[in-house]
């Protein structure tokens, strides 16, 4: 579909290309203004081209309308495509480096043929810019600084960082005179694994511009991007963009719904509304000219004939149909969690003793905790050989006798070796309460090899769960190649659970695979992979992934009491051993 937003991006790009050519200032500004207007409307491009409803589209004149029509019929417009033939997109990226600007970008492109940020960085390092007029030491060091900034703006941040920024911003905002309600929306409210930027909505009884000006006063290292009547954008502490939006009190629910997104959810919601003869916008739900909802989000969804949809579900993965049929899952909640399936102790690479971990877990209110240290092959993480493993088991028994009210499971995170065998023999595994199996080697192997290793490991009656299935480290290491749907089928067949690793840098399984696992009847185990007892709090990120994956209490083994959990663990062992015995 050729959408309004895509067209607006093309306009923006045309304006950039024109500025690179030293084009007419007023024309460039007119394009940017039009792009900005279109970026913020919900209207279909074809309707704008009809010139209907023109009052929303100040700044979209006859010239622009003809470009829109051209775009609608050909997918582009001539001015844009012709400009783009002469200048590669990478050059536009260079122009986005703070403080560089179109003139210098043009020199780099025309004189040295530099067409990407990476090329520019290399050219600086190799001294190609040294003799270029207008690129003295100061300029070059500004460019390097700018490249670093650009990386900050374009990287998505971890949810744990986003949470911290959002609470600091909210605290500051709530402290400003005249601010009433304030809340995070956007991907952070949906609890997405990473955030592109942070969206904050608020209501107030003073002009928003004054509130924004108060807000940015005295910010450390502040970087104000824009300061408008209703919206302000800035970079918080040099790390992430924050958008503040002033919302009218009686439009709060509609705005919260709109700015929580996702965009895909919103598009589908609007279509659903249209079928019912209604119109949804960030201002409310309307029948004809009459507003029928908008003050609360519940009201917005209910007025469209559906259940309230939790933000975590709003990814257009079937939640609208389920809400209309009143068939939404009853999502697992942090309060349902009774234990953690993946915690390291001093025995391998953790920092705390078994007793310290057990007490910390008890303080959280858990009924049990599984201490899973690394196995013998993982030498760099101080993996345990059989002897030390038996010492650990003894110590767990001692601590268990000393601390009442919490069951400590003697677990291990056992390496899946290159040939798919496990890192301890069966007679050792048999002595453990809880085994999570994990791939820590051969990350670059092809998909069938890695998938095969994991499938072989799952066929062991001792393997409770597979840890961090894809091995990704967000912003640091790509996932290794693994056929997740196949693993899910095998997990269902063998009664093996799959881990949702709650470490904010992992969050692995991804939520959509958690959803698929649930649909196939696989249980999920949320493990924080803690190496310090302070990390136990990461459980909430794992629960968010579970909720985004539509999981209910019964789908997550962490919601079992200690007794039920031990029964569950015994079941796989008994079942698979019986099958193996039957075959023999």
Under the rule (CB under 6 A), what is the footprint of ligand DGT?
Answer: 5, 39, 186-187, 192, 195-197, 199, 258-259, 261-263, 266-267
User: Least Å distance between CB 229 and ligand DGT?
Assistant: 18
Determine the straight-line distance between the first and last CA of the chain, rounded to whole angstroms: 58
DSSP E strands, 355-496: 368-374, 407-415, 434-438, 465-466
| Position closest to ligand DGT via CB | 261
Strands 339-343 and 231-236, how do they pair? unpaired
In the complex, minimum distance from the CB of residue 197 to Ca ion, in angstroms, rounded to a whole number: 4
Q: 461, 437 in Cβ contact below 8 A?
A: no
Helix (H) / strand (E) containing 204: strand 198-204
DSSP string, 272-336: HHHHTT-EEETTEEEETTEEEE-SSHHHHHHHTTS----GGGTTTSSHHHHHHTT----B--GGG
Residues within window 418-447 making contact with Ca ion, judged by CB under 5 A: none
- Distance (Å, rounded) from C-alpha 86 to C-alpha 68? 22
Burial of 355 from C-beta contacts in 10 A (0-12 / 13-18 / 19+) = middle
Give the residue with the Cβ less far from Ca ion, 146 or 186. Answer: 186
Q: Which is nearer to ligand DGT, 258 or 480 (CB)?
A: 258
- Closest approach of ligand DGT to the CB of residue 249, in Å: 20
Smallest separation (angstroms) from Ca ion to the CB of 548: 16
Number of residues binding to Ca ion, judged by CB under 5 A: 5
Nearest CB to ligand DGT, comparing residues 9 and 364: 9
Nearer to ligand DGT, 45 or 360 (CB): 45
Element (H, E) at 65: helix 62-74
Query: Which range, of 167-175, 181-189, 374-382, 521-529, touches Ca ion by CB under 5 A?
Result: 181-189
163 binds Ca ion (CB under 5 A): no
Q: Which does 261 bind (CB under 5 to 8 A by kind): ligand DGT, Ca ion, none?
A: ligand DGT
163 binds, among Ca ion, ligand DGT, none (CB under 5 to 8 A by kind): none
299's contact among Ca ion, ligand DGT, none, with CB below 5 to 8 A by partner kind, is none
Strands 290-293 and 284-287: antiparallel
CB of 486 to ligand DGT, least distance (A): 30
199 part of the interface to Ca ion, by CB under 5 A: yes
Question: What is the number of other CB atoms lying within 10 angstroms of the CB of residue 66?
Answer: 12
Instruction: Using the Cα atoms of residue 431, residue 435, residue 441 and residue 445 in order, give the sign of their dihedral.
Output: positive
Phi, psi (rounded to 5 degrees) for 198: -115, 130
Q: Which residue, 132 or 268, is less far from ligand DGT as judged by CB?
A: 268
Partner interacting with residue 262 (select from Ca ion, ligand DGT, none; CB below 5-8 Å by kind):
ligand DGT
Report the alpha-carbon distance of residue 93 to residue 118 in Å, rounded.
10
- d(C-alpha 432, C-alpha 421), whole Å: 17
Compare residues 57 and 480 and give the one whose CB is closer to ligand DGT.
57
User: Chain centroid to CA 442: how far?
Assistant: 26
3-state SS, residue 437: strand
Minimum separation from the CB atom of position 185 to ligand DGT (A)? 7
Which is closer to ligand DGT, CB of 195 or CB of 423?
Answer: 195
Residue 256 or residue 467: which is nearer to Ca ion going by CB?
A: 256
352 binds, among ligand DGT, Ca ion, none (CB under 5 to 8 A by kind): none
Minimum CB distance to ligand DGT, residue 198 (Å): 7
Q: Whole-angstrom Cα distance, residue 277 to residue 256?
A: 22
User: Shortest Cβ distance from residue 245 to Ca ion (Å)?
Assistant: 9
∠ Cα 430 433 436 (to 5°): 90
Closest to ligand DGT by CB, 196 or 318 = 196
Provide, rounded to whole angstroms, the least separation between the CB of residue 568 and ligand DGT: 36
Residue placing its CB nearer to Ca ion in the complex, 243 or 299:
243
Give least dist CB 46 to ligand DGT, A.
Answer: 16
Determine, following the binding rule CB under 5 A, whether residue 312 of this chain makes contact with Ca ion. Answer: no
The residue from 93, 193, 243, 251 that contacts Ca ion (CB under 5 A) is 243
Q: Which residue is nearest to Ca ion (CB)?
A: 186
The closest alpha carbon to 14, from 72, 56, 67, belongs to: 67
Is 197 a binding residue for Ca ion by CB under 5 A? The answer is yes
Total residues found in the chain within this entry: 584
If binding is defined by CB under 5 A, does position 193 make contact with Ca ion? no
Q: Which residues bind Ca ion (CB under 5 A)?
A: 186-187, 197, 199, 243
């Amino acid at each position: 579909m050729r959408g309004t937003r895509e067209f607006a991006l093309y306009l923006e790009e045309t304006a950039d290309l024109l500025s690179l050519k030293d084009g007419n200032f007023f024309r460039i500004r007119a394009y940017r203004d039009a792009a900005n207007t279109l970026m913020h409307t919900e209207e279909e491009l074809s309707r704008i081209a009809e010139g209907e409803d023109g009052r929303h589209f100040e700044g979209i004149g006859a010239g622009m309308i003809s470009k829109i029509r051209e775009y609608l019929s050909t997918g582009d417009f001539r001015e844009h495509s012709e400009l783009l033939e002469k200048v590669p997109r990478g050059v536009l990226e260079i122009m986005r480096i703070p403080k560089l600007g179109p003139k210098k970008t043009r020199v780099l492109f025309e004189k040295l043929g530099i067409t990407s940020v990476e090329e520019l960085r290399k050219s600086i390092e190799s001294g190609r810019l040294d003799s270029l007029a207008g690129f003295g030491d100061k300029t070059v060091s500004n460019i390097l600084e700018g490249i670093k900034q650009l990386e900050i703006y374009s990287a998505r941040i971890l949810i744990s960082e986003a949470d911290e920024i959002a609470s600091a911003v909210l605290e500051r905002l709530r402290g400003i005179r005249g601010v009433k309600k304030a809340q995070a929306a956007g991907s952070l409210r949906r609890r997405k694994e990473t955030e592109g930027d942070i969206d904050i909505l608020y209501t107030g009884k003073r002009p928003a511009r004054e509130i924004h000006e108060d807000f940015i006063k005295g910010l450390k290292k502040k970087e104000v991007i824009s300061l408008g009547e209703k919206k302000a954008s800035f970079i918080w502490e040099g790390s992430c963009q924050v958008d503040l939006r002033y919302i009218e009190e009686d439009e709060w629910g509609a705005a919260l719904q709109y700015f929580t997104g996702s965009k895909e959810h919103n598009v589908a919601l609007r279509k659903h509304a249209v079928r019912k003869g209604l119109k949804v916008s960030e201002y409310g739900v309307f029948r004809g000219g009459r507003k029928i909802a908008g003050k609360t989000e519940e009201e917005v969804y209910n007025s469209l004939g559906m259940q309230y949809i939790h933000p975590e579900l709003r990814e257009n993965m079937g939640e609208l149909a389920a809400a209309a049929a009143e068939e939404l899952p009853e999502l697992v909640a942090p309060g349902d969690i009774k234990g953690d399936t993946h915690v390291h102790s001093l025995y391998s690479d953790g920092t705390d003793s078994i007793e310290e971990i057990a007490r910390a877990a008890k303080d959280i209110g858990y009924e049990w905790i599984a201490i899973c240290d690394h196995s013998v092959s993982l030498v760099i993480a101080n993996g345990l050989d059989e002897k030390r493993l038996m010492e650990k088991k003894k110590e767990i028994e001692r601590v268990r006798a000393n601390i009442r009210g919490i069951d400590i499971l003697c677990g291990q995170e056992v390496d899946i070796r290159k040939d798919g065998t496990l890192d301890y023999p069966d007679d050792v595994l048999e002595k453990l309460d809880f085994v999570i199996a994990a791939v820590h080697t051969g990350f670059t192997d092809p998909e069938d090899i890695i998938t095969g290793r994991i499938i072989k490991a799952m066929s062991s009656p001792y393997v409770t769960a597979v840890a961090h299935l894809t091995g990704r480290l967000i912003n640091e290491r790509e996932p290794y190649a693994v056929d997740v749907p196949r693993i899910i089928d095998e997990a269902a067949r063998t009664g093996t659970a799959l881990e949702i690793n709650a470490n904010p840098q992992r969050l692995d399984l991804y939520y959509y695979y958690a959803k698929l696992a649930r649909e196939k009847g696989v249980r999920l185990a949320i493990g924080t992979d803690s190496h310090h007892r302070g990390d136990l709090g990461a459980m909430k990120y794992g629960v968010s992934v579970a909720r985004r994956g539509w999981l209910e209490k019964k789908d997550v083994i962490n919601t079992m009491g200690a007794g039920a959990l031990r029964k569950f663990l015994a079941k796989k062992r008994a079942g698979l051993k019986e099958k193996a015995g039957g075959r023999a």
